[in-house]
Amino acid sequence: MSSRTSIGTWRYIGQRIIQTLILWFAIITINFIIFRVMPGDPRQALLGPGIAPELRIAIVERFGLDRPLLEQYWLYLVNLLQGDMGYSFSHYGEPVMETIFEFRFANTFILMGTSLIVSIVIGMIFGVLAAAKRDTAIDSGSTVVFLIMYALPVFWIGVLILYYFGFLLNVIHWRER
């Protein structure tokens, strides 16, 4: 590899890293701003109507909601970069990182991993069949079927699969008895 190509590659990688950092910063900033411009008071929604005034003040101070907006933003950035995403109000005050990685991540990993393996196996089988039977009805038919499947929304395919495996197979199983 020539040095000219190497310099061009490193320049491209550097530009992509800078673009990624700018995009992350923009997303983080928009995420912060969205909750400040929404109608209503987020403190009211967070605390509820029947909370004692002393507790309300303590919670507002604890989360820094009484500070100026720029200070709140700085606190938001510092906490985010330290991995402190706060506490979940829907899971009884547990840290958000624990909620994500202890409960949600394992299930998501298992679901996505198995679906990826199944889709790779099915794709390889039909790809080999279509290549072996090139320019036949099997090749054209599998191409059309998989293009249609690709165009369908994922949630709709999921509902159809659940319907088939959860309902229709159960009905067939009960008829056989």
* pLDDT recorded at residue 177: 59
> Of residues 29 and 173, which shows the higher confidence score?
29
* pLDDT recorded at residue 11: 92
Mean pLDDT check: name the lowest of 8-12, 103-107, 170-174: 170-174
Q: Give φ, ψ of 87 to 5 degrees.
A: -120, 145
Q: How confident is the model at residue 64 (pLDDT cuts 50, 70, 90)?
A: confident
* pLDDT recorded at residue 16: 96
Whether pTM > 0.85 for this model: the answer is: no
* pLDDT recorded at residue 44: 65
* pLDDT recorded at residue 133: 87
Q: Write the pLDDT tens digit of every residue in 101-150.
A: 777 788 888 888 998 998 899 889 988 988 898 889 888 898 898 899 88
d(CA 45, CA 40): 8
**Closest among 69, 74, 64, 68 to 28, alpha carbons compared:** 74
Please give the mean pLDDT across all residues of the chain: 82
Phi/psi zone of residue 40: left (φ > 0), alpha (ψ -120 to 50 degrees), beta? left
Give the type of residue at 29: T
Give the type of residue at 42: P
Give the type of residue at 136: T
3-state SS, the chain, equals CCHHHHHHHHHHHHHHHHHHHHHHHHHHHHHHHHHHHCCCCHHHHHHCCCCCHHHHHHHHHHCCCCCCHHHHHHHHHHHHHCCCCCECCCCCCCEHHHHHHHHHHHHHHHHHHHHHHHHHHHHHHHHHHHHHCCCCHHHHHHHHHHHHHHHCCHHHHHHHHHHHHHHHHHHHHHHHC
Mean pLDDT check: name the lowest of 34-38, 39-43, 110-114, 128-132: 39-43
